[in-house]
Structure 1
Amino acid sequence: MIVRKNISIDQCYVDKLKPFLEKNNGNLSAAIRDTIETASLTLDGRTGENGENSSGKVSQNAEYRNGLIEEEEFLLVHHTLLEWLINNTSGLLIDESTVYEIINPYKIKRISDVVSYMNSLNEKMSWKIKVDVEYSQGPEPETASLTLSNGNSCFREIMAHSLALYLAKQMKLDVQGLFCKSNVTKVYFKRFEFLDFQKVPNGLEEHFGSMESTFREIQKKPEFWKNLIKTYRQHNYQRLSVQRNTFEAFVSGDLPSMAELRRNFELITGKPPAAFTLAEHIIIFKEIYLTDSIGSDIEICTEKGREYVKLIHDYSDRKVCDSLTKYYSNVFKSINYSFKVTTNPNMILFEFGKSPVSDDDFLE
């Protein structure tokens, strides 16, 4: 029989229900039922769903945590401070050795064992996070997915990061996708072959270490980067950032050669122009154009058969506009795609065709 009652409770008690509200997706009635059940188990010393004495288990977990603190292996940290630390180091990779302090690679070698261990650790640490895994059969799974549910979203992020690094280094499973919601974090993995064990797999770096290389560069030359950022801010980012040989060519009244443009492209992408589709070239060009800051804005379309690039600039001198048109025409011709170029005040439009151009048509 369902009994309906209207109750009034202070906000402080609602705050204490937060873990149960998160577990039940904000359903207050369900949260209160879980709270009553938990209190009943604790007071009566009855067993939970897994047949273990809940009250005794709570005490055991508390003793476990206290023991780690006394041994100075763990520290008590306010959750707000820990959230701040996690949020402000997002994009930086955890050191491999740090992860191995948590998950011993000599003892834990299977995915199922990793998940069981992390769930046990979560319970002992009271992080209230549940880890589930699905993976293809076989001694070396080709694919896998981790689902981390409930608990604090910041704690889930750091746990997903740690598990992803462990699976990448120990089981050759790189991150293929990462999806985060208010109460769930999902990570998808796919097998890959390590070419260099000292390097971080691309997927792991993309999804969990996007700021890693930037941070390392700042550490190498902190004064340079501080001064550069200060200068850009003072000039409201109205500064150019072009390669030295491109600058030299413009100053001399010439344009970079086709060979030079191709070399520059390979230095930036690590691959020759032929390795990319037209749509990929357009996306790469957009990133370079906005970074160089030669123009003020860009509009692109990568839909097959309708590809175009529209460059927006604020130059009024005719010679400057002509030089820009020739320069960017050479850039696009260096990737062997034909196009039609149209110029208007403060705008250069490149509309691409389907047949490649020959070197004889290049603008010099």
Structure 2
Amino acid sequence: MDPLITKNKGNFSAAIREIIDLIDTMLNNPDDVSKVIDGLKTDYNFTETIMYWLIKQARGKLIEQEVLDNIIDPAKIVLISDLEKYLDDMTNGGNWQTSIKMDNYDNNIIPSGVNVILTGHSVYKMEFLGGIISSFLVTHKKQEIVSLKREANKLIVGFKQQHNTNLAKQSLVRYFGYMEDILLEVSKNFEFWKCIANLYRQTNYNMVVIPKKYYNELLTGTGVPGCLTAPIEAIHRIPVKDIPLEKLILTMKSVYEHMGIVERIDMDENTLNIYHGYSDPRAIETIEKLLLGVLDAHGTRYESCCSENLIVLSRANTPVKEEMSRSFNVQRV
């Protein structure tokens, strides 16, 4: 308590209010309370600890436009060189311990591209500053993020000029705002996600997610449901047949693994190795047909071989070795 009273020049009420505000801010992260308490020894430690904790909590979230404009005023910062100098002055004046350099730009106002290089010892601080700079460049300099490289004590963000604001914003979300949609959904339906998270945790993620229409086919016993394309089409917002094969396979891997349909999908050139995690031959055959159905819907024909642990799918124009066929023979029921 003494450090806060000293900080507020003897004003006990102000110190109490600061403690209340601090507790309110940290309710969702009780494990971090001890770290902040340790930082109360001096005003410097208090400020540094709070700042570092807040920066960690902001990871994957985009800074609000109003806040961004308060940090970097677009009316005052017009030139890229001015932005670099301003950021350098800003980070040198605090506890950021991060240097910022901007290079490879051909125009000082709206460049065709630019690289932002952040160097420091804290990944969290570099990412936080990188997100602020990227938000400014995307919003006010018509830039799109095309690359993000992490090296030892260094973060390099590459940009190119992009007049399509939607594409530019998508790149910003992809690299620095990847938690935005998740947090929005959780905030909109907190009780639902609280229940789901607890359910997955208690079952050690031994769950399967399927669309309601697909589930209805299982309940009504109308036969083995058709190929499971709805989740993939929902993600890409186009029919399966219009999705490039490479993207389709990557999406199948991500979606079917996280839905719990299969345990793992490995890709090797023209071959897919599916570790299905089932023991009943009927279940294995159903999974095989499901996966082949998705690829058939795309218009690409695959051939399959199965075993107790593995389903191997190979492009129809890629010969399947005879010994592989013999090894992956499974008893049908």
Alpha-carbon distance, 1:257 to partner: 4.7
- The match for 1:215 is 183
Is the Cα–Cα contact under 8 Å of residues 255 and 327 in structure 1 kept in the other structure?
no
Of the candidates 285, 289, 295, which is equivalent to residue 262 of structure 2? 295
- The match for 1:280 is 247
TM-score (norm 2): 0.74
- The match for 2:217 is 249
Q: Which moved more, 1:111-120 or 1:320-329?
A: 320-329
| Equivalence map 1:59-208=2 (5 Å) | 77-125=46-94, 127-138=96-107, 139-150=109-120, 152-196=122-166, 201-208=169-176
Q: Please tell me the residue identity of whatever aligns with 2:126.
A: R
Is the Cα–Cα contact under 8 Å of residues 253 and 264 in structure 2 kept in the other structure?
no
After superposition, the Cα gap between the structure-2 partners of 1:153 and 1:320, relative to the gap in structure 1 and judged at 3 Å, is closer
Aligned counterparts of 1:222 and 1:95: Cα–Cα separation in 2? 22
Alpha-carbon distance, 1:274 to partner: 4.2
- The match for 1:350 is 313
Aligned counterparts of 1:330 and 1:173: Cα–Cα separation in 2? 41
Aligned counterparts of 1:79 and 1:179: Cα–Cα separation in 2? 27
- The match for 2:281 is 318
Is the Cα–Cα contact under 8 Å of residues 275 and 311 in structure 2 kept in the other structure?
yes
After superposition, the Cα gap between the structure-2 partners of 1:325 and 1:108, relative to the gap in structure 1 and judged at 3 Å, is same
Aligned counterparts of 1:126 and 1:325: Cα–Cα separation in 2? 56
Q: Please tell me the residue identity of whatever aligns with 2:115.
A: S
Aligned counterparts of 2:155 and 2:279: Cα–Cα separation in 1? 51
Could you say what secondary structure the match of 2:279 adopts?
Answer: coil
Alpha-carbon distance, 1:214 to partner: 0.7
After superposition, the Cα gap between the structure-2 partners of 1:268 and 1:151, relative to the gap in structure 1 and judged at 3 Å, is closer
Post-superposition Cα deviations, 1:117-159, rounded to whole Å, max 9, x if no partner, equal 1122223336443322114324521110011234654333221
Aligned counterparts of 1:156 and 1:202: Cα–Cα separation in 2? 21
Residue 206 of structure 2 is aligned to residue 232 of structure 1: no
Aligned counterparts of 1:264 and 1:154: Cα–Cα separation in 2? 34
- The match for 1:44 is none
Is the Cα–Cα contact under 8 Å of residues 240 and 292 in structure 1 kept in the other structure?
yes
- The match for 1:329 is 292
TM-score (norm 1): 0.68
After superposition, the Cα gap between the structure-2 partners of 1:287 and 1:126, relative to the gap in structure 1 and judged at 3 Å, is closer
Is the Cα–Cα contact under 8 Å of residues 162 and 168 in structure 2 kept in the other structure?
no
Unaligned runs of 5+ in 1: 1-74, 356-364
- Superposed CA RMSD in Å reads 2.5
Give the aligned length. 273
Alpha-carbon distance, 1:269 to partner: 1.5
- The match for 2:326 is none
After superposition, the Cα gap between the structure-2 partners of 1:112 and 1:333, relative to the gap in structure 1 and judged at 3 Å, is same
Is the Cα–Cα contact under 8 Å of residues 232 and 252 in structure 2 kept in the other structure?
no
Aligned counterparts of 2:120 and 2:316: Cα–Cα separation in 1? 52
After superposition, the Cα gap between the structure-2 partners of 1:289 and 1:126, relative to the gap in structure 1 and judged at 3 Å, is closer
Alpha-carbon distance, 1:94 to partner: 1.4
Alpha-carbon distance, 1:324 to partner: 2.2
Alpha-carbon distance, 1:264 to partner: 4.5
After superposition, the Cα gap between the structure-2 partners of 1:219 and 1:311, relative to the gap in structure 1 and judged at 3 Å, is same
Post-superposition Cα deviations, 1:256-293, rounded to whole Å, max 9, x if no partner, equal 456xx555532121233344433322211101111220
Aligned counterparts of 1:109 and 1:163: Cα–Cα separation in 2? 13
Is the Cα–Cα contact under 8 Å of residues 226 and 290 in structure 2 kept in the other structure?
no
Unaligned runs of 5+ in 2: 1-42, 319-333
After superposition, the Cα gap between the structure-2 partners of 1:222 and 1:340, relative to the gap in structure 1 and judged at 3 Å, is same
Could you say what secondary structure the match of 1:125 adopts?
Answer: coil
Aligned counterparts of 2:200 and 2:267: Cα–Cα separation in 1? 26
Alpha-carbon distance, 1:227 to partner: 0.6
After superposition, the Cα gap between the structure-2 partners of 1:340 and 1:215, relative to the gap in structure 1 and judged at 3 Å, is same
Post-superposition Cα deviations, 1:37-57, rounded to whole Å, max 9, x if no partner, equal xxxxxxxxxxxxxxxxxxxxx
Is the Cα–Cα contact under 8 Å of residues 127 and 151 in structure 1 kept in the other structure?
no
After superposition, the Cα gap between the structure-2 partners of 1:315 and 1:254, relative to the gap in structure 1 and judged at 3 Å, is same
Q: Please tell me the residue identity of whatever aligns with 1:300.
A: M
Is the Cα–Cα contact under 8 Å of residues 338 and 352 in structure 1 kept in the other structure?
yes
